[in-house]
A and B are shown apart, each in its own frame.
Chain A
Amino acid sequence: MIAEKKYIKPATLEEAIRLAHEHKDDFSYIAGGTDLLVNKYQGNHIAQCLIDITGLAESKKIAVVGEHLKICSLTRLDELGKHEIITSKFPALIMAASEVASPMLRKTATIGGNILCENRCSFYNQSEWWRESVGYCLKCEGDICIATGGKKACFSKFVSDTAPVLISLGARVELRDIDGSKIIDLETIYTGDGIKPRNIPDTSILKTIILPLNQDIKIIFKKLRPRQAVDFTSLTTAVSLNEEGAIKIVAGGVDPKPVIIKGDIKGNLNDYIKMALSKSRMVDNDYYSRKYRREMLRLFLEQSFEELKNI
């Protein structure tokens, strides 16, 4: 018997959340769906009820509220560059968004979807048959991590390109659930556990991304990937410097969560690089080898510091 599937497209946030609770055992929200549907095609995403939130009435707004810019999480990646405040105040975000996947995918993929993008691994993002052949890894209910040859932890990669920049900018996110809203720092949603990489309840909707406007943060964004389009990141770095001399390194593609190192421009930059390397748990689950990605992480950070000096 083939299981009954549902596709629901609510008109309001409240209705979406209510429906989520109604189907809480077997549902998933879907926004752009450019990753979720591929995971579904490969049998990694098996929710029978999909709640499509792209039609929510309050969606897709970008607005200045007081000293903050609020970006609705359903804003498509290709729309960010059309917004004057984002282009003038947050060019690194535009750069990061424009390096996600391909132009066609960016026309559907949302910024919320990108920061909540499921972690990836060569041994996980495969068909059901493939994963059976390799012997199911930890992330799909197996016993060991295949990429590391048997470790008991999952090292699937955090692959969002926009989140490192947003974290550099001190982004907060508004989460909405049946019991109301809460606003938390974006960087706190990532767990570091490759199997369950985010700590947001399934029923919560990431409604808004909130960026402080009154700050002067310079960011150097870099991305490593084999091709200049389509590919997920092998390494993303956002290195920022604020007016007070505070430095923040945010690296993606190197660990199950974004690796964040905070410091001061007057500090020992090489130490920060060492810390970033030490916190990155890279394994051979990418097009590039672990060794090369570590080397490139060092290089990207060195280059970023150099470039920050010259801005």
Chain B
Amino acid sequence: MRQASFIINGKRHHVVIGEHEMLSDVIRNKTGLTGTKIGCSQGSCGACTVLVEGNAVLSCITPALRFDGANITTIEGIADTHGLHKLQEKFVEKGAIQCGFCTPGMVLTALDFIKNNPSPTKDEVKMALSGNLCRCTGYKKIIDAVIEFAKENSEENMSVPGDGDKQIATQKIKNTVGIGRPYIEANKKVRGMADYADDYQLKDALHVKFVRSIYPHARILKIDTEDASKIDGVRCISTGKELPITFGVLPISQDETAMAVDKTRYIGEIVAAVAADTEAIATEACRLIKVEYEPIKEFLTIDDSINDIGANEKIHEYGKFNNNIHKKAELRFGNQEEGLKEADVVSKMSFSFAGINHGFTEPHAATAYWDENGLTIITATQVTHYLHRALAKTMEEPLSRIRVIKPYVGGGFGGKGDPFPHEIIISHIARKTRKPVKVCLTREEVFLTNHGRHPSQMTISLGASKEGLLKVLDADIAIDGGAYGSFGVVTSYYNGVLLQAPYKLDNFGFKTIRVYTNKPQCGAMRGHGAVNSRFAVESLIDDISHKINMDPVKLRMKNFLDSNTLTVGHYRITSNGSRESLQKVADQSGWEEKYGKMEYGHGLGVGCGFFISGSALPIIWNELPQSTVHLKVDFDGRVLVTSGANDIGQGSDTMLAIIVAEVLGISMDKIFVLGADTLLTPVDLGSYSSRVTFMAGNAAKNAAENLKKEITTAISLKYEIDAAELYFSDDCISSNDKKVDISWLEAIEIVTANRGAVCVSGKYISPKLGGDFKGAGAGLSPSYSFGACVAEVKVDIHTGHVRLLDIWGAHDCGKALNPLAVEGQLEGSWHMGIGQAMSEEMIYFNGLLVNNNFLDYKIPTTLDTPEIHCNIIETIDPEGPFGAKECGEGALHPVIPAIANAIYDAVGIRITKLPIKSEDVLELIKQKKEQHNKQTTIT
């Protein structure tokens, strides 16, 4: 250890640091400036960027002692204490901030760049930001913010702080619904002041590290902790036997323990945990724990697990057959045999898809402690409610003694949507040691935790008449679930059921088999369940359009379901913007002029999709509403919104505030949202299945209407006026005759007189939907979103490299409550789809994940992201809050097949495997040429 000093943001810090300590650790842990984020610890994501003597450096791979005595600027220091730097203002204004975890690094990288290049082109900005990963925005709004900042600012005034009241001004915009605005917490995020899970530094906290299995499938014979326990600073070592109670997000898949008990089921599974005074001590102690294993035959692929396994040991004991099948889901409607007979043309293809990971930039992190109120855990989660239940179960504590707090969360996309072992383990160790216990997973551990999209194989047949009417769809699907259940039963159904729209299909059926394998478990990821099967169907439609010589846009238009109709599987379709979406992207992309008419190697493709706006059924069956929102207004006129909904960067807190402000006719600055704290907020089931805007939004609307009634009643009594004559708008309550014309605060004085604060509740309960057959509940939703994409590509026929030129996307979100946020969600969805299409895959070697970091797992950078043209389609859903429905997941579906179909248009090859690797494309081009040559020879 050595003493060093740094002038950070103008203040000198004398600190004692480790000789090899990285600058990021010193900044975060020794000075408490946690605005500097750590996303990868390997210099691959840029979240840790700070300025040293004005120059940007990646602080996670910078030895602190290199800059002993230096001037360092972190995100907290680029503006004065009250305002924002003008670049920060631009990030806020442009909606360039979603989860906010990459934001500090982006801002500092951009500042450094603009300093040296004050008038950059767009390409230069993209280049400059290409080492900073963002998983939420698709970069578009970030690039826009930087370019606009550069335009508006000369080099001289760069360091002048901006007007910190700017966001507040935007919050005073009248007419709240439908007006684009930054997130309510955007200022806090852009200043680095928003606390994420690993930013909480509790007194005397212990740090936990894990021993993980090195075998995919092995019995644990012995765990020797003796040497580890002798290390000074080690406070507790725990093993699986201490936590034998199983858990899982679905009641029917309670198949996981926090640590492996008798055997391990994947390489990376936690076998033991060490809590110590520092992370370094815990890490060292983990190295000294000796685990004796007896390897068992492992099952690593769908083929391994689907068949009878002979005398070998199954991955899980339950299940009546001698294989590793976890779930079979099958539903059939109409008559597929008849459909096939009726079809003039049938296209049948087999597809395979690699597993992919959510890639959120904030690693899992949590802190737990026990006190007189029981357990409190602050954790990066999308599902406070389900974690609440899982902790009560595994800790064997009453629900009333568990408090789950969601801090700001750096993205989730489904990957923080389950209760996790690390959350249970630190809760357990905190109880044992009576100390706060914290954990932050490395990026490698995040990848091992996984719960990402299932690797899948499927064969699908689609039949149509020669007039282009779809007659039959049959899907045979197998998905690789990894070692545990997670959301897998739902995934199994979604792969199939979510094919019954957006096209009318009378004869439709599917069978999905989910298998266990000895790999990290798969679960829910953005667009849950149907992304891969949607890709397959959209590819088949493209194929049929070629077979019957019909434009694929026209073919889709012919087959779309109408609004206010039922699908063959009894989904109730209400609003439906399929046609508008497709027309929009066709028009905007110049489809008529370009499709099928460009030179060889240059192509245009189209895809469509739809998705649920929240599952109509809860995961755990009970009579609770799907969402409850409480409002409290006190003498000061501020409305406190409390909701269990988890804002994970998608902007749901802002959405709740908009709805409440709209109903009450008040400005946004009178709203305060408290989200996702199971002690303080009423139950919302969480951020999954794209349910929050529809369900929590409706609950907020209902609560606001109830509050409005209370206020109306009080005023009508006082003024002796009919309640129906009162209007709420512009922070006033008035009647047409001006008998009542009072301010919001005056109204609050009236309603709180002799009563005090007014508290009301609002709720959302989905209507009863669906058929009465087994499996009818899967994919049922009170509303569905619809969308379309067109992609334009150029294929290098010599290398097979596919260059994306443009993506045109349109998505029917019912009503954009906050268009800026909706655009952000859509652009982020398309970007994530581009990643799955072009470069992302989880690569295994004998069950060991090879690409477990942000260098080798290929999330598209700014330079790999084409121009994205965003279109919001509004259809005003009859049951959505102000007509709104989902926009966070469904948009992902059409973009991947649009890219593949564009490749077909460019070079005539059909992509049946994701990601689309250059070498596969090249091989297919060659095969096609050979085929062509053969045919020519025969002719």
Contacts and interface: CB of A to CB of B under 8 A. Distances in A.
A104 B863 contact: no
B65 interface: yes
A234 B58 CA distance: 24
A132 interface: yes
A101 B212 CA distance: 31
Interface in B122-161: 127-132
B855 interface: yes
A7 B861 contact: no
Interface in B84-134: 109, 112-113, 127-132
> Which of B2, B214, B287 has the most A CB atoms < 10 Å from its CB?
B214
Given A9-B66, A103-B130, A104-B46, A231 B919 contact: no
Interface of A: 2, 5-7, 9, 30, 33-34, 37-38, 40-41, 50, 52, 54, 101-105, 107-108, 122-123, 126-130, 132-134, 146, 224, 226-232, 287-289, 291-292, 295-296, 299, 303
Interface stretch (B36-44, B483-491, B607-615): B36-44
A133 B63 contact: no
The 5 A-B residue pairs whose C-beta atoms are closest, nearest first, are A102-B131, A229-B130, A292-B919, A104-B131, A228-B863
Given A104-B132, A229-B131, A295-B922, A5 B850 contact: no
Interface stretch (B49-57, B704-712, B760-768): B49-57
A299 B20 contact: no
A38 B43 contact: yes
A177 B721 CA distance: 95
Contacts of B214: 129, 132-133
Given A40-B20, A230-B130, A130 B63 contact: no
B128 A103 contact: yes
Contacts of A108: 57-58, 61-62
A104 B109 contact: yes
Given A34-B43, A104-B132, A226-B839, 15 more contacts: A7-B63, A9-B66, A54-B66, A102-B130, A103-B127, A108-B58, A122-B850, A127-B444, A134-B846, A146-B845, A230-B855, A232-B855, A287-B858, A299-B798, A303-B798
Contacts of A101: 131
B799 interface: yes
Nearest to B20: A5
Nearest to B2: A7
Contacts of A33: 61-63
B860 interface: yes
Given A7-B63, A54-B66, A130 B444 contact: yes
Interface of B: 2, 18-20, 22, 41-44, 46, 49, 55-58, 61-63, 65-66, 68, 109, 112-113, 127-132, 212, 214-215, 267, 280-281, 284, 287, 442, 444, 798-799, 839, 845-846, 848, 850-852, 855-856, 858, 860-864, 917-919, 922
Contacts of B215: 133
A7 B864 contact: no
B922 A292 contact: yes
Nearest to A293: B919
Contacts of B127: 103, 229
A227 B42 contact: no
A40 B61 CA distance: 10
Contacts of B860: 227
A165 B137 CA distance: 37
B153 to A, nearest CB: 20
> Which of A102, A107, A229, A292 has the most B CB atoms < 10 Å from its CB?
A102
Contact of A228 (B49, B861, B918): B861
Nearest to B127: A103
A299 B41 contact: no
Contacts of B850: 122, 126
A288 B861 CA distance: 19
A227 B281 CA distance: 37
20 contacts: A7-B66, A34-B61, A37-B22, A37-B43, A37-B62, A38-B61, A40-B20, A52-B63, A54-B66, A102-B861, A103-B113, A104-B109, A122-B856, A123-B845, A127-B444, A134-B846, A230-B44, A230-B131, A231-B858, A303-B798
A53 B316 CA distance: 55
Contacts of B43: 34, 37-38, 104-105
Contact of B63 (A50, A122, A231, A292): A50
A34 B42 CA distance: 8
A4 B862 CA distance: 41
Contacts of B63: 7, 30, 33, 37, 50, 52
A288 B919 contact: yes
B626 to A, nearest CB: 40
Contacts of B862: 229
A2 B280 contact: yes
Contacts of A9: 65-66, 68
A5 B18 contact: yes
A299 B799 contact: yes
A50 B855 contact: no
Nearest to B61: A37
Contact of A103 (B22, B41, B131, B799): B131
B58 A105 contact: yes
A60 B170 CA distance: 48
Contact of B858 (A107, A123, A226): A226
Nearest to A37: B61
Contacts of B66: 7, 9, 52, 54
Contacts of B20: 5, 7, 40, 50
Contacts of B851: 122
Nearest to B45: A230
Given A52-B66, A104-B109, A299-B798, A228 B444 contact: no
Contacts of A104: 43, 46, 49, 56, 58, 109, 131-132
A229 B41 contact: no
B280 A105 contact: no
B41 A52 contact: no
A228 B65 contact: no
Contacts of B798: 299, 303
> Which of A104, A146, A292 has the most B CB atoms < 10 Å from its CB?
A104
Contacts of B856: 122, 287
Contacts of A230: 44, 130-131, 855, 861
B123 to A, nearest CB: 11
